[in-house]
């Protein structure tokens, strides 16, 4: 039996050593391995740089969205200005046609030796209407030009000086 006691003691000792090894391995597994401080600092710097780049990209996207909305509004203003210009040009064409017809009638009356006061009056009215329509068309044309150039001028004035000089050098 002494052999059994001796084997039992050896097995108990081995189990105790195994238990200690398991506890040691468990403690080592619970604590993370020590990180290289230089590598941690490098990774943190890279993370900060990526965050800054992302913030700049988000600002750029927001600025582009704002600019797109402004361009859409400018496009609506330009369409309205060109519609006004088109209406004024149509009125000018009608007035010019009326003026031509009245002048033709005046020439015909003068050729026959008839100085018709009503025809002369109609001619003067047509000429006055043509002048008004021409002025209105010119005003509408100026508005249409301003609708196109206004946003471009505002954008040029809003650009930082170094961006404007860089564009001039590139162009």
In this prediction, residue 40 carries a pLDDT of: 82
pLDDT tens, position by position, 69-87 = 776 777 777 788 778 878 8
The answer for residues whose C-beta is within 8 angstroms of residue 87's C-beta and 6 or more apart is 140
Q: What does the domain layout of the chain look like in residue ranges?
A: 54-157
The pLDDT of 131-143, averaged and rounded, is 82
Per-residue pLDDT at 65 exceeds 60: yes
The Cα 67–Cα 75 span in angstroms is 12
The pLDDT of 118-138, averaged and rounded, is 79
Per-residue pLDDT at 139 exceeds 70: yes
Residue 113 DSSP code: T
Residue pointed to by tokens 């003068």: 110
In this prediction, residue 163 carries a pLDDT of: 53
SS3 assignment, position 75: helix
Of residues 161 and 105, more confidence is placed in 105
In this prediction, residue 166 carries a pLDDT of: 57
Q: Output the average pLDDT for the chain.
A: 78
- This prediction has a pTM of 0.41
In this prediction, residue 19 carries a pLDDT of: 82
Most confident range (mean pLDDT) of 24-33, 50-59, 120-129, 148-157 is: 50-59
Residue pointed to by tokens 């021409």: 134
Asked if residue 78 lies in contact with residue 144, where contact means CB atoms within 8 angstroms, the answer is yes
pLDDT tens, position by position, 94-124 = 877 887 787 777 777 777 877 677 777 777 7
């Amino acid at each position: 039996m002494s052999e059994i006691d001796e084997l039992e003691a050896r097995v108990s000792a081995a189990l105790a050593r195994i238990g200690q090894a398991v506890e040691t391995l468990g403690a080592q597994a619970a604590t993370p391995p020590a990180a290289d401080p230089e590598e941690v600092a490098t990774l943190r710097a890279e993370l900060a740089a990526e965050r800054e780049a992302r913030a700049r990209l988000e600002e750029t996207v927001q600025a582009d969205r704002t600019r797109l909305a402004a361009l859409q509004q400018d496009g609506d203003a330009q369409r309205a200005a060109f519609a006004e210009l088109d209406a004024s040009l149509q009125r000018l064409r009608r007035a010019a046609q009326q003026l031509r017809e009245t002048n033709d009638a005046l020439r015909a009356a003068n050729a026959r030796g008839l100085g018709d006061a009503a025809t002369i009056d109609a001619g003067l009215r047509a000429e006055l209407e043509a002048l008004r329509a021409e002025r209105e068309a010119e005003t509408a044309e100026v508005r249409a030009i301003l609708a196109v150039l206004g946003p471009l001028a505002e954008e040029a004035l809003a650009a930082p000086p170094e961006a404007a000089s860089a564009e001039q050098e590139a162009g």
